[in-house]
Amino acid sequence: MMANKHNALKKILMIAAFGGAAALLWGALFVWAAEPLGKSPVQVEESTVLYAGYDLERIAEDMTPFVGDNSKVSRIVSGLPSPDPRFMQRYMAIASSEQPYGLTLFYEPLDSAGYGEVPDSLRDGEFVEQSRNNAIVLFAMIGNVDRLTFAYRSTVAPDELIPSDYEPLLEYNRSDFPIELNLADKQNHVEQLGQYLEQEQSDTAAVVSAIQGAEEAVELAVPDGAAIRE
């Protein structure tokens, strides 16, 4: 009698063990079928669209009709690249008490030793182009700013803004550009601004290429050692 009970218990344990193993095997097969071995879940991330190097969608989150909106204007400015990678924008000044409303950005060297000179706004084409593009973005994102000034100093500034220590290199007026603020349709505004910037970039590249081609042609036309008479 005891032997029969022992055999019955042994059969029950064997069946349970077999059932557990089958369940584990089925689970393993199910997991493998749902997600093949060695393959991690795919994470879909929305890509950032850049227009002429600008993340306009992020910048447009702070679009404002008023240059006096200090916090939004500051965040817009922070999204702009420096026209000269050796310099950084640290201070800004807003003139909103009377028209024309203005915004001045102040740049100083990244290196604490300074550079001894400010960027050359007459000969540095890339510097001028980047400054102009920054101005376009600012006019498009700040509704009532009439004038923009980019000022530079050749040494690191103290912990306070002293405007007289800076040289205003470039100034832009809203009337120079056809872009206007469009708060009603932000997405369309961003796309139009992006297309405008890319067209400006393309036109500038074409002009630079033409100038370089003309200079190369002159060099080829003049024999070595010959002087060019003015």
Mean pLDDT of 57-68: 96
pLDDT of 56 = 96
Rounded CA separation 179/165 (Å): 32
State both tokens at 65: 């009709």
pTM over 0.85: no
Q: Are 100 and 56 in contact (CB under 8 A)?
A: no
- Segments in the chain forming alpha helices (H): 2-34, 56-59, 70-78, 125-141, 186-221
Strands 87-95 and 102-109: antiparallel
The pLDDT of residue 45 is above 70: no
CA-based nearest residue to 187, from 89, 51, 68, 76: 51
Q: Are 179 and 135 in contact (CB under 8 A)?
A: no
pLDDT of 226 = 59
State both tokens at 179: 């872009």
The pLDDT of residue 183 is above 90: no
Count other Cβ atoms within 10 Å, centred on residue 64. 20
Q: Are 77 and 92 in contact (CB under 8 A)?
A: yes
Which pLDDT tens digit goes with each residue over 108-155? Answer: 999 988 998 999 999 999 999 999 999 999 999 999 999 999 999 999
pLDDT of 34 = 35
The pLDDT of residue 219 is above 70: no
pLDDT band for position 181 (cuts 50, 70, 90): confident
Q: Are 89 and 105 in contact (CB under 8 A)?
A: yes
Average pLDDT, the chain: 80
The pLDDT of residue 216 is above 60: yes
pLDDT of 37 = 41
